[in-house]
């Protein structure tokens, strides 16, 4: 598989999660390069990605800034904030209570009109 084909696959994965080319390159700095040869090849064969590789090679501050931002995005993909979790719980309780009340009402109504 060529690096360009690898790039297409990488973009498919990253873009569908709302990530950019920069978000694809920055976290790679934290990987063990020898274990990710295909991704590395893709990073240097694709001109749009190579731009970031070269930037990070020259500017360590840019790398750490972008790495932190991209890593935060990746970390938050599956994170549910406490307020959202509380809201989901409250909605679940409300739906359960509504179903219980309607079931009780239906049963009383059915028995009354039999």
Q: What is the pLDDT of residues 24-78, one digit of tens each?
A: 777 665 444 445 555 667 777 888 888 888 888 888 888 888 888 888 887 777 6
Same domain, 15 and 25: yes
User: What is the model's pTM?
Assistant: 0.47
Chain-centre distance of CA 104, in angstroms?
42
Number of Cα atoms under 13 Å in the Cβ half of residue 26: 22
Same domain, 59 and 88: no
Number of Cα atoms under 13 Å in the Cβ half of residue 8: 4
Same domain, 5 and 55: yes
**Is it the case that residue 3 has pLDDT exceeding 50?**
no
Give the C-alpha separation, 74 to 56, whole Å.
19
Give the C-alpha separation, 94 to 78, whole Å.
24
Same domain, 38 and 74: yes
Q: Which domain holds residue 105?
A: 80-114
Residue with tokens 């501050």: 61
Same domain, 20 and 74: yes
Same domain, 88 and 33: no
Give the C-alpha separation, 114 to 109, whole Å.
9
Same domain, 31 and 57: yes
Same domain, 75 and 85: no
């Amino acid at each position: 598989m060529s690096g360009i084909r690898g790039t297409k696959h990488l973009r498919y994965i990253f873009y569908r999660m709302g990530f950019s080319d920069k978000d694809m390159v920055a976290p790679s700095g934290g990987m063990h390069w020898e274990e990710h040869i295909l991704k590395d090849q893709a990073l240097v064969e694709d001109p749009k990605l190579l731009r970031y590789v070269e930037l990070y090679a020259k500017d360590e501050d840019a790398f750490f800034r972008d790495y932190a931002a991209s890593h935060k995005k990746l970390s938050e993909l599956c994170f549910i904030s406490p307020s959202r979790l509380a809201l989901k719980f409250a909605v679940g309780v409300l739906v359960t209570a509504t179903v219980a009340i309607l079931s009780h009402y239906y049963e009383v109504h059915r028995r009354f009109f039999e």
